[in-house]
Structure 1
Amino acid sequence: MPATSPSSATSIGSVDARRVEDAFSLIAPKWTTWSAQTLAQQSSLMRVRDVAARLPFVSEQLVGKRLAQMHADGLVTRVGDRHGAPYQLSAFGESLSRVHDTLADWSQANLSLGGRVAGAERIEDAVRRLHLRDSTAVIQALDTGGPMRFVHIAEEAGLDNGWTRQRLNRLQVDGLVARTGPRHGDPYVLTDAGRALGPVYAAVEHWSDPVTTRHRSAPPPPVAAATRTHTGVPLASDNIRTAAALRRSAAAPSALFSHAPQPQVPAVVTAQSTPSRGR
């Protein structure tokens, strides 16, 4: 049965956040988009040196490492096992073009990057803003219930307070979330760019089907008793996350797919509430 295309009307709250972020993790490493698009533009197989020749701003060694990781992730295939064997996009890698187009369109419509920006650079910038673990859950909480205070976002997203604070700060820096005022306790809302993410999440989730199948076919690795090493979130937050998921699953379909209007945030307020880029 042919796969169906993701609908541009898909709501932010209806996507599987973890599945989306797992898919983003495959395309987030720097130069992955450039490498994939370089391979897509060629009708012949390409060796590492051939790809590097078309990306003069990236070292051949780094191109080799990136292609090796893309091969491990199923985005490219090699013809032969010998050292220096050429690469080509896999069917999975070729299907990434829809995600790239959607990310480029979202960036073009919602982000001011300044000057002339290459399409691949714009896509990689968009992925950098979206791929961090649990960012999607925070955006979903605000899409469903904004404006929201910090503690309510943490509760709805199923995250602990410290982790939520980190994610909100980063999302503000990246222009996806804003605080409605300069005071510490003022509620947060999604910016226009954040509210426009429905088509992006839908495209990534649709593309992620092979990722989900591959990950679910293997038994899950053991998790340490004290911490979750891939996120730094205490294991105790599982109870919070589960309770939040149950609340969302109990919501009526009309609420799950609705887009309640959120107040526009004046630019001057957004500027006041945005943290600095220093880390």
Structure 2
Amino acid sequence: MPITPPADPQAVEAALRRLAPNWTTDIVRAIARYGPTLQVREVADYVPALSESYASKRLSAMRQDGLVVRDDAFDKRAPYRLSEQALTLGPVYRSLAQWSSEHISPTMLGRPGRIEDALQRLQPLETTRIVQLLAEGGSMHFSRIAAESGVYRQLITPRLARLQADGLVVSTGSRHHGPYALTEAGQALGPVYAALQQWHDRHTANGPAHAPAAKVRSLTAPAEGVQGARTAAALRRSPVPPSLFSHAPQPQPQVPYAVTAASHPARGR
């Protein structure tokens, strides 16, 4: 299944930088499920792997990223709630969970785990640019990827190794020279990239307007369509959207858990 390359890889990676840091998904889920507001100690209670001090640091960073808000910024005991930006993450989380369930996810991961795992696979710097290049140009050798991607040559080798470990790229030749091509999982990233870019553009002040359909480089149509727009509208009307994490998984794992574990070591505090 060919993908729809993102019109702006920088926008996609900007969104991933905000959503992929450790524990972000878990904290959004905790506030969505047990809120609408939670104090720092309550977040730490609902995310047992977090200490209260680290939960405070993560919430502060998420506030800077626009994902949570605090009505009284000067009261350290004031609770946090999800921002409008976080309340519209439903289409992004659904696209990540669906992609992971159909192409990546080990069966032992629940829906939040699949979202987190997908974010960790997609967030490394320049991943989006390389995926887009291979989507548009097909199978390529190392030298052509280095020449056309705009990525420093010193970064290409470790980035391609990571992409292979994450199940997005496969090499059909020698270890370092390819040719490299997208796996089925890499080819299916179109709806994920579309959802990430739409979310980023919507909440970026003075950001780029959505490109008209005729101008977007496309190999297939995005998967969300009208239903995704309806879902986003429903999320805007809901103070705490229960649908952020509520859809039941339908796992069809294709990448072994051993690969996942090797690529993504356990998160520390």
TM-score scaled by structure 1?
0.71
Count of residues paired in the alignment = 218
- Aligned partners of 1:62, 1:89: CA distance in 2, in Å? 18
Deviation at 1:215, TM superposition (A): 7.5
Equivalent position of 2:144 in the other structure: 152
Matches within 5 A, 1:36-75: 36-75=28-67
1:171 to 163, 174, 177: 163
Gaps of at least 5 residues in structure 2 are: 209-213, 221-253, 255-261
Q: 1:26 to 1:60 in 2, by over 3 A?
A: same
Q: 1:196 to 1:47 in 2, by over 3 A?
A: same
Task: Please list every run of at least 4 consecutive aligned residues from structure 1 whose deviation after the TM superposition is greater than 6 angstroms.
Answer: none
Percent identical residues: 39
Deviation at 1:185, TM superposition (A): 3.1
SS in 1 for 2:181: strand
- Aligned partners of 1:197, 1:84: CA distance in 2, in Å? 41
The question of 1:191 aligning with 2:183 is answered yes
Cα contact 1:99–1:207 (8 A) shared by 2: yes
Q: 1:78 to 1:112 in 2, by over 3 A?
A: closer
Deviation at 1:119, TM superposition (A): 1.7
Cα contact 2:35–2:81 (8 A) shared by 1: no
Cα contact 1:137–1:157 (8 A) shared by 2: yes
> Match of 1:11, as an amino acid?
T
Matches within 5 A, 1:64-103: 64-81=56-73, 82-103=75-96
- How big is the alpha-carbon RMSD for the aligned residues of Structure 1 and Structure 2? 2.6
2:133 to 141, 153, 160: 141
Q: 1:47 to 1:254 in 2, by over 3 A?
A: closer
> Match of 2:65, as an amino acid?
D
Q: String of CA shifts for 1:191-245, please: whole Å, max 9, x gaps.
A: 01100000000000000025542689xxxxxxxxxxxxxxxxxxxxxxxxxxxxx
The question of 1:106 aligning with 2:99 is answered yes
Equivalent position of 1:248 in the other structure: none
SS in 2 for 1:180: strand
Q: 1:17 to 1:37 in 2, by over 3 A?
A: same
Q: String of CA shifts for 1:60-115, please: whole Å, max 9, x gaps.
A: 222111111111111111121211110100111111122111101100000142x4
Q: 1:138 to 1:44 in 2, by over 3 A?
A: closer
Q: 1:176 to 1:165 in 2, by over 3 A?
A: same
Q: String of CA shifts for 1:29-71, please: whole Å, max 9, x gaps.
A: 1100000011111343210111111111222222111111111
SS in 2 for 1:107: helix
Deviation at 1:181, TM superposition (A): 3.0
Gaps of at least 5 residues in structure 1 are: 1-8, 217-252, 260-266, 268-275
- Aligned partners of 2:176, 2:61: CA distance in 1, in Å? 42
- Aligned partners of 1:15, 1:38: CA distance in 2, in Å? 33
TM-score scaled by structure 2?
0.74
Deviation at 1:159, TM superposition (A): 1.9
- Aligned partners of 1:11, 1:148: CA distance in 2, in Å? 18
1:258 to 213, 216, 219: 219
Cα contact 2:20–2:120 (8 A) shared by 1: yes
Matches within 5 A, 1:227-246: none
- Aligned partners of 1:190, 1:10: CA distance in 2, in Å? 10
Q: 1:189 to 1:10 in 2, by over 3 A?
A: closer
2:4 to 11, 25, 42: 11
